[in-house]
Chains A and B, each alone.
Chain A
Amino acid sequence: MVQQYIGASITRKEDERFLTGRATFVDDVKLPGMVHATFVRSPHAHARIVAIDTAAALAMPGVVAVFTYDDIASLAKPIPVRLYPLPSLEPFLQYPLAQDKVRYVGDPVAIVIADSRYVAEDALDVIDVTYEPLQAVVDIEESLRDEIIIHEAPGTNLAAHYVVSTGDIDQAFRDAEYTRKERFKTNRHTGNPLETRGMVVAYDSGELTVWGATKVPHFNREVLSSLLDFPEEKMHFIEGDVGGGFGIRGEFYPEDFLVPFAAIRLGRPVKWTEDRLEHLIAANHSRDILCDIEIAMKKDGTILGIRAQVYGDMGGYIRTHGSLVPASTAGLLMGPYNVPAYECGVHCVITNKTGVGTFRAPGRYESCFIRERLLDMAAADLGIDPAELRFKNLIQPSQMPYNAGRTRADGDTIFDSGNYPQALTRALDEIGYAETNPKRWVDDAGRYHGIGIATYVKNTGRGPFEGARIVISGTGDVAVYLGITTMGQGHETTMAQICADSLGVSMEAVTIYHGNTDYIPFGGGTYGSRGTVMGGNAVHLACQNMKERILSLASTYLDTEPANLVLQTGEIFRKGAEHGPALLSLGEVAGLAENAGSDEEDSGTLEITAYFEADQLTFSYGSHAAHVAVDPETGKIEIIRYVVVEDIGRAINPLMVHGQAVGGAAQGIGATLLEELVYDDSGQLLAGSFMDYLLPTSTDVPPIESIVLEEAPSPLNPLGVKGAGEGGIVATGATLANAVSNALAPLGVQITQLPLSPSFIVKLLSS
Chain B
Amino acid sequence: MKPARFDYYSPSSRDEALELLGQYGDDAKILAGGQSLMPMMNMRLVRPKVVIDINRIAGLSHITPRRDGGLAVGAMTRQRELERSALVLETAPLLSLAIPYIGHFQIRNRGTVGGSLAHSDPAAEIPAVCLTLDTEFELASSGGERTVKAEDFFLNHLTTALEPVELLTEIRIPQTVGNWRWGFQEVCRRDGDFALVGAATMLHLDDKGICLEARITTFGAGGTPMRMDAAEEYLSGSSVNADDRSEAARLVSDALDPISDIHASAKYRQDVGGVMVRRALEQALLAQALPFNEGEDAA
Contacts and interface: CB of A to CB of B under 8 A. Distances in A.
B152 interface: no
A634 interface: yes
A36 to B, nearest CB: 10
Contacts, number: 70
A766 B267 CA distance: 11
Interface stretch (B127-135, B158-166, B185-193, B229-237): B185-193
A277 B1 CA distance: 7
A121 B43 CA distance: 10
A687 interface: yes
Interface stretch (B21-29, B268-276, B286-294): B268-276
Nearest to A691: B39
A634 B2 contact: no
Given A277-B43, A633-B275, A699-B297, A762 B190 contact: no
A686 interface: yes
B191 A687 contact: no
Contact of A763 (B43, B187, B190, B265): B265
A692 interface: yes
Interface string A637-649: 0000000000000
Given A634-B187, A634-B275, A699-B192, A759 B265 contact: yes
Contacts of A277: 1, 43
A694 B275 contact: no
Interface string B187-216: 101111100100000000000000000000
B263 A692 contact: yes
Interface string B35-59: 0000100011000000000000000
B264 A759 contact: yes
Interface string A547-562: 0000000000000000
B262 A699 contact: no
Contacts of B299: 699
A563 to B, nearest CB: 63
Interface in A697-747: 697, 699-700
A760 to B, nearest CB: 9
Classify the secondary structure of B's interface with A: loop
A757 B275 contact: no
A700 B190 CA distance: 7
Given A277-B1, A758-B264, A699 B190 contact: yes
A636 B187 CA distance: 8
Contact of B190 (A122, A678, A694): A694
Contacts of A697: 190-192
Nearest to B274: A633
A574 interface: no
A674 interface: yes
Interface string B1-36: 111110000000000000000000000000000000
Given A277-B1, A758-B264, A633 B272 contact: yes
Contacts of A678: 262
A277 B40 CA distance: 12
Interface string B156-176: 000000000000000000000
Given A634-B272, A634-B275, A689-B43, A759 B190 contact: no
Contacts of B4: 121-122, 125
B192 A759 contact: no
A763 B275 contact: no
Given A694-B189, A699-B192, A700-B191, A759 B2 contact: no
B263 A757 contact: yes
Contacts of A699: 190-192, 297, 299
Interface of B: 1-5, 39, 43-44, 187, 189-193, 196, 261-265, 267-268, 271-272, 275, 297, 299
* Top 3 A-B residue pairs of the complex, sorted by shortest distance between their CB atoms: A759-B264, A275-B1, A699-B191
